[in-house]
């Protein structure tokens, strides 16, 4: 511990610590802010800066580990009273302490800004540990790169960029799963998936600490093999963990059904995961708008967020994507139109099929606009083909009877389509 404290005091990274904290906070708030107030989403957001801190720390670790060789202190370093692996381990630990400290500050900020709106609960440790594993892995890679290629400029730059590119291309949640981009309450990082990624990170540290750059004191082929055995074992472990990460599947898995759920008081009910409680006022308003739809429209009695019903879920269950209530209204509109129209069957002719499809598109767009309380947001692009969203936005401002007459015409087209 004393040696580590000494290394922390003399490490140039102490001057970079405020920069690391600023980088973490900038990524935390600069990327998005819709996560504030939902604990799993805040946890995932607090983990995202590791995606940037990792490559930065890999570059620094490469520069720091190569200093001994650049200054010509290799022989003194090898002949010291402490085992080589302890000295290397202290260097890695010092970088990890500063990087982890900046990462922890960002997580504390994420918790602080979410506390008032999120209610009971706290940040999910699994997401924070996932980001920490990525940071440790990058530091280990940078350390060993600096030892083998002790350039003061080329190695740190190449190592940092390489880590960033490799993680970007292969570390996403649907690939190696070294990081996630969001944390909906319907999914979680299980201990098993997390453990195999920490196994990869720690085995990389073992390789970085035990792999010798030179083998002084060992003569003959047998001596060289003995010297390499720990590094060989660490490398085999790293390869095994890497294979486990690649073959384990997505890092996020479906969460078990909750013991409780939160539902609106207004009928029809809208039910969400308890972690989404901050959206309840807006969901209450949406439930009231559904109950106020014209009598020609029939609504399901309950709308469910994705994952609440487990294997019994339906394709009309909604998700709150990046805090957007339009996504919720859009999914609910499809459920309402299905409830209000006959069961689907193939139309007798292609012309009739096209006419009925357009009627469905227009009806769904109108329902989504009514449920959301406004037309399609300007930042939402696309939508059902052929539907004039501006005309729908004007329609929902007309009188109730006018809107009911408009909806009846679309339903009449749907009901009047003959089946093949």
Q: Beta strands 269-272 and 302-304: pairing type?
A: parallel
Across the range 343-354, mean pLDDT stands at: 80
Q: Can you give the pLDDT at residue 219?
A: 43
Q: Are 94 and 61 in contact (CB under 8 A)?
A: no
Round to whole Å and give the CA distance between 408 and 333.
16
Instruction: Please state the pTM of the whole predicted model.
Output: 0.86
Round to whole Å and give the CA distance between 189 and 132.
14
Q: Are 226 and 217 in contact (CB under 8 A)?
A: no
Around Cβ 120, how many Cβ atoms within 10 Å?
8
100: left (phi over 0), alpha (psi -120 to 50) or beta: alpha
Q: Which residue has the higher pLDDT, 88 or 113?
A: 113
pLDDT tens-digit map of 6-42:
766 777 788 888 999 999 999 999 988 999 999 999 9
Round to whole Å and give the CA distance between 23 and 103.
10
Structure tokens at 416: 């009047």
Q: Which residue has the higher pLDDT, 340 or 78?
A: 340
Which residue in this structure is represented by tokens 């940078």? Answer: 142
Round to whole Å and give the CA distance between 302 and 290.
11
Q: Give the range among 46-60, 65-79, 175-189, 254-268 with minimum mean pLDDT.
A: 65-79
Beta partners for 305? 318
Which residue in this structure is represented by tokens 């479906």? Answer: 254
Mean pLDDT over each residue of the chain, to the nearest integer: 83
Rounding to the nearest 10 degrees, give the CA dihedral for residues 273, 279, 281, 282.
Answer: -120
pLDDT tens-digit map of 183-203:
989 899 989 889 989 988 988
Q: Are 139 and 201 in contact (CB under 8 A)?
A: no
Percent of the chain with pLDDT over 70: 85
Residue 47's pLDDT band (boundaries 50, 70, 90)?
very high
Q: Can you give the pLDDT at residue 236?
A: 65
pLDDT above 60 (res 78): no
Q: How far is CA 248 from CA 83, 167, 258, in A?
A: 36, 17, 25
Residue 267's pLDDT band (boundaries 50, 70, 90)?
confident
Q: Give the range among 138-147, 156-165, 321-330, 339-348 with minimum mean pLDDT.
A: 339-348
Q: Can you give the pLDDT at residue 145?
A: 85
Q: Are 200 and 245 in contact (CB under 8 A)?
A: yes
pLDDT tens-digit map of 213-247:
544 444 444 444 444 555 565 556 666 666 767 66
Q: Which residue has the higher pLDDT, 308 or 11?
A: 308
- Is the bond preceding residue 268 a cis peptide, omega within 30 degrees? yes
Around Cβ 317, how many Cβ atoms within 10 Å?
19
């Amino acid at each position: 511990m004393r040696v580590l404290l000494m290394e922390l005091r003399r490490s140039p990274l102490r001057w970079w610590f405020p920069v690391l904290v600023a980088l973490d906070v900038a990524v935390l708030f600069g990327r998005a802010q819709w996560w504030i107030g939902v604990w799993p989403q805040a946890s995932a957001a607090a983990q995202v800066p590791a995606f940037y801190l990792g490559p930065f720390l890999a570059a620094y670790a490469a520069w720091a580990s190569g200093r001994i060789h650049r200054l010509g202190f290799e022989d003194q370093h090898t002949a010291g009273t402490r085992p080589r692996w302890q000295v290397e381990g202290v260097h890695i630990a010092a970088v990890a302490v500063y990087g982890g400290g900046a990462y922890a500050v960002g997580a504390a900020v994420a918790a602080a800004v979410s506390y008032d709106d999120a209610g009971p609960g706290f940040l999910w440790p699994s997401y924070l540990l996932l980001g920490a594993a990525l940071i440790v892995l990058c530091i280990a890679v940078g350390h060993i790169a600096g030892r083998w290629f002790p350039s003061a400029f080329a190695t740190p730059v190449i190592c940092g960029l390489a880590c960033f590119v490799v993680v970007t291309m292969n570390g996403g949640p649907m690939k190696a799963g070294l990081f996630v981009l969001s944390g909906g309450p319907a999914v979680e990082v299980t201990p098993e998936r997390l453990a195999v990624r920490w196994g990869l990170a720690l085995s990389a540290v073992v390789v970085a600490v035990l792999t010798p750059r030179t083998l002084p004191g060992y003569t003959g082929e047998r001596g060289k093999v003995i010297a390499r055995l720990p590094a060989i074992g660490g490398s085999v472990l790293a390869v095994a963990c890497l294979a486990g990460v690649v073959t384990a599947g997505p890092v996020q898995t479906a969460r078990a059904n909750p013991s409780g759920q939160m539902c609106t008081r207004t009928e029809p009910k809208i039910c969400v995961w308890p972690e989404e409680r901050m959206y309840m006022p807006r969901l209450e308003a949406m439930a009231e708008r559904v109950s106020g739809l014209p009598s020609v429209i029939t609504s399901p009695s309950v709308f469910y967020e994705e994952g609440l019903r487990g294997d019994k879920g339906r394709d009309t269950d909604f998700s709150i994507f990046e805090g957007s209530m339009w996504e919720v209204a859009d999914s609910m509109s499809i459920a309402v139109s299905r409830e209000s129209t006959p069961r689907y069957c193939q139309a007798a002719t292609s012309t009739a099929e096209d006419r009925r499809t357009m009627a469905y598109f227009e009806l769904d767009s109108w329902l989504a606009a009514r449920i959301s309380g406004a037309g399609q947001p300007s930042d939402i692009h696309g939508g059902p083909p052929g539907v004039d969203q501006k005309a729908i936005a004007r329609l929902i401002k007309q009188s109730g009877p006018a809107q009911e007459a408009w909806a009846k015409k679309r339903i009449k087209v749907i009901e009047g389509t003959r089946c093949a």
